[in-house]
Structure 1
Amino acid sequence: MNRTGKVLAALSLGGALALTACAPTAETGNTDGGEPGAVEDSVNVGIIYSKTGPLAAEGDAYYEGLQAGLDYATDGTGQLGNFELNITYHDDGGDPDQAAAVAGELIGEDYKILAGTASSDIALTLADLAARDKVLYISGPAVSDAISGANKYTFRSGGQSMQDAATAGAFLNDLNGKQITVFAQDNTFGQGHLAAAEAALGLQGANVSNLLVPEDVTDFAAFARQLVDAKPDLIYAAWAGASSDSMWQALDRQGAFDIAPIVTGLGEAASYAAFGGASEKISFFSHYFPGAAGTDVEKEMISSVVEAGKEVGQFSPDGFVAGQMIARAVGEGGDDVEQMVTALEGWSFESPQGDATVRASDHGLVQNMYRVALSGDGKQWIPELLKTVPGEDIAPPEIVN
């Protein structure tokens, strides 16, 4: 499948890089937008994502997935019924103020849809703007649970922290009365995963405790020993960053793997080496890795990204689904935001990860996760699917406003 043709022009907008993409008019196929015909109007869509900054890798995977998703959902035309998508791309740089400035200008220029960002802080900022100005906002890889149920106009195209926690808990057959320790860094990332575990696993009867490690710690032996002494039934490790390698080595040396299953999320391929010799002892779950689903839609996504000379990443499906959701919104709602919202609420569709549903109550995305094994020889690391965890089994509690 060929990607949508684009005419690129550099714009200066709110200090961010903007790229304008205009698609040719042609017949559409994979949308609900009605029969194609003469273009009556265009719908402005602003993609605000991390082209640069600390989340640039996530932003790149999202961007490539989005191109594939838009191409798939419009048969490479950029047209939904009689409406053409006018899409511009803007760098948030990982900065909420920069993102808000760009969003404000786009809304002032009659943009109906905003989408993107891997930053939870940015996503929540844009969600507030969406509610205030009544535009559709589709968040990207940002995992904050607060995005679901934020307001009528905010949706998400990716997973959330409580789905991670629920998947981690699913490694035990019965959580009632079980002792689960969240082992994480004492920062926003770690605290967010702790809150998600308390909510998702506590509702199933688990007793959730925590061992939060200050970010400046470099010797993890004492903390590993605390885990061993606590003797929980399961350890949920939520960790990221340069200290990962030494942390896993400390857990291995102190015998933590002999006490309980240690469950953690499998990130991007570039991070696999950090698990080192502990990789075959860790119980991994994954939001996504290439080849995990084996669905026709996933194959379309992979083919499109590879044909563009890029690599599929963990968050490529989030971008692909955003493309599907944008197409659904415009195909059913035209340029009417209220109708777009109605079109997305309760929508079930086939995503790269299999069956997915946009919950009508809080706009959370119910989708599959995966149990994974990771093997390697120190140079090459290969994830292997062990089990698909159905989305309905790990769906977060609904938020009803």
Structure 2
Amino acid sequence: MKTILAALAISTALSGAAFAQDAARIALLHGLSGSPLEAYSKQTHTGFEMGLEYATNGTMEVKGKPIELIIKDTQFKPDIARALLAEAYGDDDALIAVGDTSSGVALSMLPVAEEYERILLVEPAVADGLTGPDSNRYVFKTSRNSSMDMQAQALALAPDENLYVATLAQDYAFGRDGVAAFKSALEGTGANLVAEEYVPQQTTDFTATIERLFNALKDQPGRKVIMIYVAGIDAMTPLASADPGRFEIELSTGGNILPALAAYKQVPGMEGAIYYYYEAPDNEVNDWLVEEHMARFGTPPDFFTAGGMASAMAIVKALETAPDWETETLIEAMEGMSFETPKGTMTFRPEDHQALQAMYHFKIKVEDGVDWAIPELVRVIEPDEMDIPVGRNNQE
């Protein structure tokens, strides 16, 4: 009987906690140690704090209640991430949690959100599966997904029956979901996918992989492209250094953070699609972000800074819009909600809670005095140009 009463007491406390809160407690759960992806997490945190500042006009309050940030380091380990998320919802009474950087870690966190019946806003992890069949109605996602990356990448490559492609990706959720999405994007175009190579997440030796990729492409009759889809490692340098041009093989990839774009100087003229580059969007939010980031840090905002800001602006819009802060009320407010970001307007698709958003077709330009290669804008790829599969139908 005592056990039953205790369980009822906990359930009652959890169900009423959101309504009774005297502050908007938001937990940021990202890997801050233990991986090359740490830089992504730190950019996300910077962007998130700047987003809160912008969205609240500097007050850091919503409806007269202060915003409290709870920051936790998942160490890029699924078991630690799950425990910390449970702690954030239970002990810290967080209304909403934001995370993780790694797709594999973020996937492990989804059941915890469902168990505690609290919202998990995924940023910046990318894998399609994060809003897929194994997700749940408490999960929203401001980061782009693999299908957006690959639909935009395919549009940038202008695929037809003359195109022969081999892919290089990392052997975990991000890489495999990305290649699956790329194959889907090529369907019906006539393009030929001739090889798929997957490497461990922190690979440094690409010798054997490059040989297999070159062998798969070198004797093909048409346009030959290696499409690279990796995160946190430099695959561009070893591939470019191996001189694919001797076999008339081109390289193509998506965008990346500014330090990684330095490697793109080896491939001037390369085309691809990017999630964000600070010179690409044309809107007031991005103007503010670029100006303020330059003033505070002496550098432009980077790839994941924009994503962090977008997630913060989504949360503030939801908290301002919802009549109360009960989870069900917040979900109702967020489904179909449009909100402004450095990339322009995003909209949470009601069916699976993925934020639909623009992407950017670029062509690499090398400019003296700039430390990185410039992904010069070719054109904006609007959300309705991309056929993004619905992951999980939350309306059923």
More helix by share: 2
Q: 2:230, 2:145 → 1: CA distance?
A: 16
1:161 aligns with 2:142: no
- Given candidates 263, 267, 282, the residue that maps to 2:256 is 267
Q: Name 1:322's counterpart in structure 2.
A: 311
Q: Name 1:292's counterpart in structure 2.
A: 280
Q: Which has the higher mean CA deviation after the structures are superposed, 332-341 or 318-327?
A: 332-341
1:246 aligns with 2:241: no
Q: Name 1:142's counterpart in structure 2.
A: 125
Q: Name 1:343's counterpart in structure 2.
A: 333
- Given candidates 164, 167, 189, the residue that maps to 1:183 is 167
Q: 2:371, 2:316 → 1: CA distance?
A: 38
Q: Which has the higher mean CA deviation after the structures are superposed, 54-63 or 305-314?
A: 305-314
Q: How many Å apart are 1:83 and its aligned residue?
A: 3.4
Read off the aligned partner of 2:23 and give its amino acid letter.
S
SS of alignment partner, residue 140 of structure 2:
strand
Read off the aligned partner of 2:154 and give its amino acid letter.
G
Read off the aligned partner of 1:360 and give its amino acid letter.
P
Change (3 A) 1:42 1:185: closer
Q: 1:346, 1:152 → 2: CA distance?
A: 13
Q: How many Å apart are 1:300 and its aligned residue?
A: 1.5
Q: How many Å apart are 1:114 and its aligned residue?
A: 0.5
Q: 2:223, 2:136 → 1: CA distance?
A: 37
1:116 aligns with 2:99: yes
- Given candidates 163, 175, 180, the residue that maps to 1:195 is 180
Q: Which has the higher mean CA deviation after the structures are superposed, 204-213 or 293-302?
A: 204-213
- Given candidates 38, 42, 50, the residue that maps to 2:23 is 42
Q: 1:306, 1:379 → 2: CA distance?
A: 15
Read off the aligned partner of 2:307 and give its amino acid letter.
D
Q: Name 2:8's counterpart in structure 1.
A: none
Read off the aligned partner of 2:24 and give its amino acid letter.
V
- Which deviations, in whole Å up to 9, do the C-alpha atoms of 1:198-250 show, x marking residues without a partner? 23333766554433165553253453242122345563332452443121232
Q: 1:343, 1:350 → 2: CA distance?
A: 15
Equivalent pair of 2:164/2:220 in contact (CA under 8 Å): no
- Gap regions ≥5 residues in structure 2: 1-19
SS of alignment partner, residue 388 of structure 1:
strand
Q: 1:126, 1:84 → 2: CA distance?
A: 26
- Gap regions ≥5 residues in structure 1: 1-38
1:399 aligns with 2:391: yes
Q: Name 1:304's counterpart in structure 2.
A: 292
TM-score scaled by length of structure 1: 0.81
Change (3 A) 1:209 1:342: farther
Change (3 A) 1:40 1:252: closer
Q: Name 1:389's counterpart in structure 2.
A: 381
Q: How many Å apart are 1:40 and its aligned residue?
A: 7.8
Q: How many Å apart are 1:301 and its aligned residue?
A: 1.8
Q: 2:212, 2:87 → 1: CA distance?
A: 51
Q: 1:106, 1:399 → 2: CA distance?
A: 26
Change (3 A) 1:60 1:201: same
- Paired positions, count: 358
Read off the aligned partner of 1:119 and give its amino acid letter.
S
Q: 1:310, 1:89 → 2: CA distance?
A: 25
Read off the aligned partner of 2:26 and give its amino acid letter.
V
Equivalent pair of 1:66/1:322 in contact (CA under 8 Å): yes
SS of alignment partner, residue 72 of structure 2:
strand
TM-score scaled by length of structure 2: 0.82
- Given candidates 4, 24, 32, the residue that maps to 1:51 is 32
Q: 1:337, 1:350 → 2: CA distance?
A: 22
Q: How many Å apart are 1:251 and its aligned residue?
A: 4.6
Equivalent pair of 2:217/2:224 in contact (CA under 8 Å): no
Equivalent pair of 1:135/1:337 in contact (CA under 8 Å): yes
Equivalent pair of 2:228/2:235 in contact (CA under 8 Å): no
- Where in structure 2 are the equivalents of 1:66-85 lying within 5 Å? 66-85=48-67
Q: Name 1:18's counterpart in structure 2.
A: none
- Which deviations, in whole Å up to 9, do the C-alpha atoms of 1:283-333 show, x marking residues without a partner? 132111112102111012223333432641111111011111111222123
